Amino acid sequence: MSTASGYLTVSGIGVDVVYKDIKNLHIGVYPPVGRVRVAAPRRLNEDQVRLALVQRLPWIKRQRARLQDAERQSQREMVTGESHYVWGNRYRLKVVERAGRSHVELDGDRLVLYVSEGTSTEQRRELLDRWYRDRLRGAIPEILARWEPKLGSVSRWSVRRMKTKWGSCNRETGHIWLNVELAKKHPDSLEYIVVHEMTHLLERGHGKRFVKLMDGFMPDWRVRRDQLNEDPLAHEKWSL
């Protein structure tokens, strides 16, 4: 069965479209962040697929909200025995309460939080969040240095927490934002999102020109995208 692929944006939601030799259109919403994928018959054109998505938009939004709620509910208690991800690798969390400066270290297969006695779950989470942000801030300049000669300069970049997007950009100012959660994913995923947002500085939408540009700049971008969207949730319980 032969296939062709495309990409649409409907109400701000990115949708992967795969055209196949099938009779009916199928819409799926997938974990962990609610990626939307459409399998469409070849007889349908882009406008017809877009109309079908608009008609099913309330259902799509409900499914995405359910998945995003599940991810938020998976937030851990920040205690020894949990697992957390750094650059796609899983580490067992160890919390050490002691006097002195609070900080985070990687020690073999452990992610160690050194905190003062009596710190709250939220304080521990904030400490780890700052550490993740520092990891991203250290990795992004090298990626930009590699890609700016090909894609043009980024005037400014920032790291922030986003609920539904891995990245975003402002074409007018040349400013891109990257989700702090990317520090938990494989480095290839971070590079993909940086290139994705830089390509948006050249092309606003996700139409044929955008796909053609991405194919030229990063031929394996679909593999990287799928790896990013199929990675485990940010937190999971480690069996002790």
Please name the residue that has the structure tokens 């942000």: 133
Residues above pLDDT 90, as percent of the chain: 67
**160-166 average pLDDT score:** 83
Whether 33 has a pLDDT exceeding 70, the answer reads yes
> 175-179 and 167-170: which strand pairing?
antiparallel
Give the domain range for residue 20: 3-73
Indicate if 89 and 181 belong to the same structural domain: yes
Indicate if 180 and 124 belong to the same structural domain: yes
The one-letter code for the residue type at 195 is V
Indicate if 88 and 67 belong to the same structural domain: no
**Order of strands across the sheet with 3-10?**
3-10, 13-20, 35-41, 26-30
Q: How high does pLDDT run on average in the chain?
A: 88
Q: Which of the listed ranges 65-74, 193-202, 204-213 does the model predict with the highest average pLDDT?
A: 193-202
Indicate if 155 and 213 belong to the same structural domain: yes
Last residue of a domain, one of 56, 73, 90: 73
pLDDT of residue 192: 97
Indicate if 124 and 66 belong to the same structural domain: no
As a whole number of angstroms, the distance between CA 205 and CA 174 comes to 15
Give 208's pLDDT tier (boundaries 50, 70, 90): confident
As a whole number of angstroms, the distance between CA 129 and CA 141 comes to 19
Interval 124-145: pLDDT, tens: 999 999 999 999 999 999 999 9
Q: Domain with 167 in it: what CATH number? A: 3.30.2010.10
The model scores a pTM over 0.95? no
CA-angle at 15, arms to 11 and 21, nearest 5°: 135
Interval 52-82: pLDDT, tens: 999 999 999 998 888 776 655 456 689 999 9
pLDDT of residue 76: 67
Whether 27 has a pLDDT exceeding 90, the answer reads yes
pLDDT of residue 202: 94
Give 235's pLDDT tier (boundaries 50, 70, 90): very low
As a whole number of angstroms, the distance between CA 196 and CA 192 comes to 6
Q: Tally the domains of the chain.
A: 2
